[in-house]
Amino acid sequence: MSPDPSRPHLRAILFDLDGTLYRQSPLKKRMLRELVTVPLRRMAPFEGYRTVRRLARFRRDREALRDLGRPDESLEELQYARPAAALGEPADRVRASVLEWMHERPLRHLAAARRAGAAELFRAARSRGLEVGVFSDYPVDAKLAALGLDAEVSLTLCATDVEVNAFKPHPAGFLAACERWGFAPGEVLYVGDRVEVDHAGATAAGMACALVGEESAGHPDHTTHDALRERLADRG
């Protein structure tokens, strides 16, 4: 299906967040720097190493949880329980590190890493009567506000929300967004950055998908926020 936003029957654009609305590489560099300096300031030099190990395990196990599809168990719990068991630590310790280093500390750096054209695309979509939403595998609201992109958004959804409980590329989250808006998948365009996660998931849900960012360069559906905004201008 064509990811062209000038299609006349399009009613909404749904965005991925990490890597799509901001560039991840400058943020990762800042976090690595803080992982060295913050434990030293706290007089706990080994804490940095333990945190890096914990976050790496969390990320790896979370990628593997994609294979579960939509399980009976809660992904919100499993995402901490699995790495905690592997590391021999309480799940609360993994959760605390993830909250601090993946959710809270990045917030103050997000605005500087925002992708060019994202805010303009959000505004252009709204001014043309399209709904704008964000569906991510990670919690959306705090990051979206830190990016200064929350004003135009009528729907936010996370893969670990109870109504979804499925990481991409499972179609559940994409379809939950459609259901909330009352739109058919063919009326929604998804914009993401990962071929095997975003493009595959949107396609499985019957949604067109445009890809932005360096990782998907060369893909036939690769584009930019600015190019999408320019195509919106062609809507009748």
Name the residues that contact Mg ion, by CB under 5 A.
16, 18-19, 193
> How many whole angstroms separate alpha carbon 32 and alpha carbon 49?
11
> How many whole angstroms separate alpha carbon 3 and alpha carbon 186?
10
Question: At its nearest, how many Å lie between Mg ion and the CB of residue 19?
Answer: 4
Residue 153, helix vs strand vs coil: coil
Radius of gyration, CA atoms only, the chain = 18
Closest to Mg ion by CB, 7 or 109: 109
Question: At its nearest, how many Å lie between Mg ion and the CB of residue 46?
Answer: 32
Chain Cα centroid distance, residue 171:
15
Question: At its nearest, how many Å lie between Mg ion and the CB of residue 131?
Answer: 20
Residue 211 structure tokens: 């890809």
Closest to Mg ion by CB, 78 or 211: 211
Closest to Mg ion by CB, 87 or 204: 204
- Residue 131 burial class via C-beta count within 10 angstroms: exposed 0-12, middle 13-18, buried 19 and up: buried
Residue 79, helix vs strand vs coil: helix
Question: At its nearest, how many Å lie between Mg ion and the CB of residue 231?
Answer: 21
Residue 137, helix vs strand vs coil: coil
Q: Is the distance from CB of 136 to CB of 158 less than 8 angstroms?
A: yes
Question: At its nearest, how many Å lie between Mg ion and the CB of residue 137?
Answer: 8
Closest to Mg ion by CB, 54 or 168: 168
Maximal C-alpha separation, the chain:
62
Closest to Mg ion by CB, 84 or 193: 193
Question: At its nearest, how many Å lie between Mg ion and the CB of residue 194?
Answer: 5
Question: At its nearest, how many Å lie between Mg ion and the CB of residue 236?
Answer: 31
| CA proximity to 185, closest of 168, 204, 166 | 204
Residue 99 structure tokens: 């909250």
In the complex, which residue's CB is closest to Mg ion?
19
Closest to Mg ion by CB, 16 or 187: 16
Closest to Mg ion by CB, 18 or 187: 18
> How many whole angstroms separate alpha carbon 207 and alpha carbon 80?
31
